[in-house]
Structure 1
Amino acid sequence: MGGILIFSNEFWALLWAVNTILAFYVVFHRKRSVATSWAWLIILLIFPILGFILYGFIGRGLSQENLFAINNQKHIGLNKVNKMIPRVPKSAGPTDTSKEAKILIDYFNFKHDSPLSKNNKISFYTDGEKKFEALFKDIEQAQETVNVEYYSFMNDDLGNKFLNLLIKKAREGVKVRLIYDPWGSPGASKTWFKPLTDLGGEVVAFITAQNMIKKYRMNYHLHRKIVVIDGRISWTGGFNVGDQYVSKSKKFGYWRDTHLRIVGSASLLLQERFVMDWNASITDKNQTISFNEKLFPKIEENQLTEDDVATQIVSDGPDTSTPYLRNGMIRMMMMARKTLWIQTPYLVPDDPMIATWVIAAHSGVDVRIMIPSMPDHPFIYRATQWYANYLLHEGIKIYVYDNGFIHAKTVMVDDRFAAAGSMNQDFRSYSLNFETDAVFYDKNITRELNHIFEKDLAKCTELTLEITDNWSRYLRFKQAFSRLLSPIL
């Protein structure tokens, strides 16, 4: 018995030693943030077996093959598009002609190749029913191409209505292409898409989720929402495709989001983004999209809109060495002099973003952040509450949206700059998912988004120290525990 016990103790000691060595190797063998490294190390050491299972599900990085495919398309695509679209310059004067505007434009265009586009007409949609009604009308008018890219394309009533419209357009001879992320699209399958593909439509899963192992990995997903019609009209923002996004979910009730419709040269840049994602994701090279005038039509002088909203389309993801979109947002927020207003469904910021907000608030800037009143992901919501309480103590105003679920992702700086798109204020959007935002250098657009924010305030409860002081110890424990996991949520 003693020998067996000794053997057992030695066995567990050896197992612990091997687990520790593997944990350090797994965590530190590739570059990642210090916070993320420590979060994973704690999990792997405390939960020897379960921790590695979780790591396989959440923590694995992108393969070099995926990175090469994405980056290769980026360089090829930009070179060709820049030659074909001389009207989208590398640099141009924004509506806001201040030196600060030029600094921000140059940052987004430095290495990341996000040129400023002009002559854009922008319309915002905050209600799902109205957004999809207008989008479907645009698709009905398509003559040449409809390119669709969504994180979530659900097999439900709205998803089927959307799919049937695409089938109709394919039957009419319009070239239809669709990229979706299987992780965010339960029920979407080759069988479901078959009526579309039988008519010549093409459907691909995003490159990072093309097989069972990749599909059930929590990180590195397509989070963009893009539709481009004939290269002239485009849509992007926060709404996905599914019944809950048109407020048909009993759990969430009214779904409040922000989406934008673009008519003008910025549509060519969203088309470019789609083409690069498509060519990186296809497995059949015969489906490669060439850069042609059907996709990138020349915009003649008489086709320019009377509006002149200066817009940059900025995309980012784990394929880049630096979080350009997050860094650019920080640069923009640092320019705030009077107001900095933010809407986000997930408030799990990293230290540089927190420092930006706190410095602004301590400098007399009116910093306001609007978050949901209900969770769609329990751990993320508890972490959101922890950060909300922390920021509240630093003088930042926190507003909790009570009229359903707010999923909008907007940033407004004074009445000068604004951004709207798919990027949340969390670690995942900063570095783990593929995002796209539109950045505006236009006072009228920024004022419009500020006005929308003010209307939402009427449906909010302001978080106060009195409220947070009454949170139970158990709730505080869940918040603190979730916050420890925030780098990997």
Structure 2
Amino acid sequence: MLGEVFLLIFVSMIDWNLIASQIATLTFDIVYFGAIISTIIVIVLDNRNPVKTMAWILVLMFLPIVGLIFYFFFGRSQRRVRIIGQKSYDRLMKKPMAEYLAQDYSELPTAYTRLISFFRETNQAFPFEGNRVEIYTGGYTKLQALLRELQKAKRHIHMEYYIIENDAIGRMLRDVLIEKAREGVEVRVIYDDVGCWHVPNHFFEAMREAGIEVRSFLKVRFPLFTSKVNYRNHRKIVVIDGCVGFVGGMNLAERYMRGFSWGIWRDTHIMMEGKAVHGLQTAFLLDWYFVDRTLITASRYFPKIETCGNSLAQIVTSEPIGPWKEIMQGMLIAITSAKSYIYIQTPYFLPTEQILTAMQTAALSGVDVRLMLPDRADNRLTHLGSCSYLEDVFEAGVKVYFYKKGFLHAKTMVSDDMLSTVGSTNVDFRSFEHNFEVNAFMYDMETALEMKEVFLQDQRECIQIFQKNWVKRSWKQKAAESVVRLMAPLL
């Protein structure tokens, strides 16, 4: 009897709430740390770039909750598979290949045979001669040219943009497309689902109701398809009747015209006429197959085009699902092949180790390497990351310029009065490894000299940054840059 009393007293003294709380805490710790450890194991076994692997491990170790969330959205690798079967791909490439083989031109420029061959072999980017290139460095001139060419469309319009805003510019372009569709012109539009997240459905529904075929690229729906958020279509392509094309850095939004309260929006876009438009058409139709599973190969989309200029050009694409990083590797070849100079403009400078080493090597060998960045960017985090790499290029003799007149969003490169490229690709990990990108590479003196002059004009609106002054910035600034640099492969 006495024992039972003591047992009752002992049981009553036990704090069951405390025990339950401790069990819950232990269970949470096991699940929590198990998730982190298992995620780190998955990252290691994925055999990624060691720099990227270490970046993810550091984030998971020091910011575990944030790291897990970021990895869930941005870190998971997708199985690398072909967008399109080989048979279908061969059918799509049949017409462009025939046009390429039918060309009767002199030998390729000797200095760039390696680069041209690389693009042709890895990307099926055929070098087409006889193109005319028009360069636009402002939103208004590009918009005027685009509207003019859209109004001329008789057969089809293919348009693909990362961002199409529901603002005055977006609505104006939408209304023009609706008008052309009602005239009987085939209109197809691809927009990126993340780039247009905040655009209301009725904006695109108005197009669909007018007979325009509109598709979003890689829809992201929570929580099932969050792994797709990291792989975005950053391309800006317009093809009109198969013979006029636009490509470059400008999306469809008011800010590309009016800029910011603190400065202009400085960007570069080009219009192309000539056989190189076949390359833009192929890029669009491959993306159309990806979003619609409809293979479009009719010859009317690849009309016969006469010579209309002197530019030899290739349209080069890159995407995260292929075995190669074609645009990054092509830039690597271009930088290491430069003999006299190479000028680069990019809004974000978070280079891969290969690109950084190539720039250093070129500068150390006596090539005039110039890098132009915005003095003030639209994203403070990426700008801090960009700044963290500058000391590396200073030491090799690269000249660095900060554009002061506004935000520099141009993605261009020009070298040796012969090679130039314009497109959607930034010099950063995201463009090189995660995004679907497109660039036009042009091999002719006229275009290169014009691109060189554009760079030099922009340089007049810049301040040159010198290493002796750069090292004097505050320790807080240096620390912030260093921390962001750790995450550079993930930005």
Bigger shift: residues 12-21 or 471-480 = 12-21
Other-structure match for 2:276: 266
Other-structure match for 2:245: 234
Distance 2:141 2:227 in 1: 33
Say if 2:319 and 2:433, in contact at 8 Å, map to a contact too: yes
Does residue 202 of the first structure (1) align with residue 208 of the second (2)? Answer: no
Matched residue type, 1:191 = H
Bigger shift: residues 78-87 or 342-351 = 78-87
- Map 1:123-138 to 2 at 5 A: 123-138=134-149
Question: What 5-or-longer segments of structure 1 have no aligned partner?
Answer: none
Q: Deviations over 1:232-291 (max 9, x none)?
A: 00000000110111124335x311111010001011110111011011112xx5xx2421
* Cα distance change on mapping 1:377 and 1:92 into 2, 3 Å: farther
Other-structure match for 1:256: 266
SS of residue matched to 2:53: helix
TM-score normalized by the length of structure 1: 0.91
Distance 2:431 2:230 in 1: 10
Q: CA deviation at 1:295?
A: 1.2
Other-structure match for 1:294: 300
Other-structure match for 1:323: 325
Other-structure match for 2:62: 46
Q: 1:275 aligns with which of 268, 271, 285?
A: 285
Bigger shift: residues 26-35 or 7-16 = 7-16
- Map 1:288-367 to 2 at 5 A: 288-299=294-305, 303-305=306-308, 307-367=309-369
Matched residue type, 1:293 = S
SS of residue matched to 1:310: strand
Q: CA deviation at 1:96?
A: 5.7
Distance 1:6 1:137 in 2: 71
Distance 2:258 2:208 in 1: 30
Other-structure match for 1:89: 101
Q: Deviations over 1:49-106 (max 9, x none)?
A: 3321111122123356xx44x243x7623443324652223998678621x3211111
Distance 1:94 1:476 in 2: 52
Bigger shift: residues 44-53 or 259-268 = 44-53
* Cα distance change on mapping 1:233 and 1:95 into 2, 3 Å: farther
Say if 1:358 and 1:396, in contact at 8 Å, map to a contact too: yes
Q: 1:80 aligns with which of 89, 92, 98?
A: 92
Distance 1:54 1:345 in 2: 23
Other-structure match for 1:146: 157
Distance 1:12 1:442 in 2: 63
Other-structure match for 1:472: 474
SS of residue matched to 2:101: coil
Structure number with larger C-alpha Rg: 2
CA-based RMSD of the aligned residues comes to 2.4
* Cα distance change on mapping 1:184 and 1:215 into 2, 3 Å: farther
Q: How many residues align?
A: 474
Question: What 5-or-longer segments of structure 2 have no aligned partner?
Answer: 1-13
Q: CA deviation at 1:390?
A: 2.6
Say if 1:182 and 1:188, in contact at 8 Å, map to a contact too: no
Q: CA deviation at 1:470?
A: 2.9
Other-structure match for 2:488: 486
* Cα distance change on mapping 1:298 and 1:408 into 2, 3 Å: same
Q: CA deviation at 1:472?
A: 1.3
Distance 1:153 1:13 in 2: 45
Distance 1:12 1:94 in 2: 70
Q: CA deviation at 1:479?
A: 0.5
Say if 1:209 and 1:215, in contact at 8 Å, map to a contact too: no
Does residue 177 of the first structure (1) align with residue 188 of the second (2)? Answer: yes
Distance 1:312 1:44 in 2: 41
Distance 1:94 1:485 in 2: 47
Other-structure match for 2:131: 120
Distance 2:428 2:107 in 1: 30
Other-structure match for 1:18: 34
Distance 1:17 1:30 in 2: 20
Distance 1:95 1:338 in 2: 22
Distance 1:6 1:187 in 2: 44
Bigger shift: residues 196-205 or 88-97 = 88-97
TM-score normalized by the length of structure 2: 0.91
Distance 1:456 1:18 in 2: 52
Distance 2:316 2:49 in 1: 23
Distance 1:331 1:482 in 2: 28
Does residue 111 of the first structure (1) align with residue 122 of the second (2)? Answer: yes
* Cα distance change on mapping 1:78 and 1:312 into 2, 3 Å: farther
Q: CA deviation at 1:298?
A: 2.2
Identity of aligned residues (%): 31
* Cα distance change on mapping 1:291 and 1:390 into 2, 3 Å: same
Distance 2:341 2:283 in 1: 31
Say if 1:95 and 1:442, in contact at 8 Å, map to a contact too: no
Q: Deviations over 1:425-451 (max 9, x none)?
A: 000111110000111111221111111
Distance 2:181 2:103 in 1: 37
Q: Deviations over 1:348-404 (max 9, x none)?
A: 001111110001111111110000011212211101111123312321110000011
Say if 2:340 and 2:416, in contact at 8 Å, map to a contact too: yes
Matched residue type, 1:296 = F
* Cα distance change on mapping 1:95 and 1:146 into 2, 3 Å: farther
Matched residue type, 1:443 = M
Distance 1:453 1:215 in 2: 39
Matched residue type, 1:379 = L
Other-structure match for 2:201: 190
Say if 2:129 and 2:312, in contact at 8 Å, map to a contact too: yes
Distance 1:308 1:95 in 2: 14
Matched residue type, 1:58 = F
Distance 2:104 2:44 in 1: 43
Say if 1:19 and 1:48, in contact at 8 Å, map to a contact too: no
Distance 1:257 1:309 in 2: 22
Q: CA deviation at 1:344?
A: 0.4
Other-structure match for 2:5: none
* Cα distance change on mapping 1:85 and 1:105 into 2, 3 Å: closer
Does residue 55 of the first structure (1) align with residue 71 of the second (2)? Answer: yes
SS of residue matched to 1:318: coil
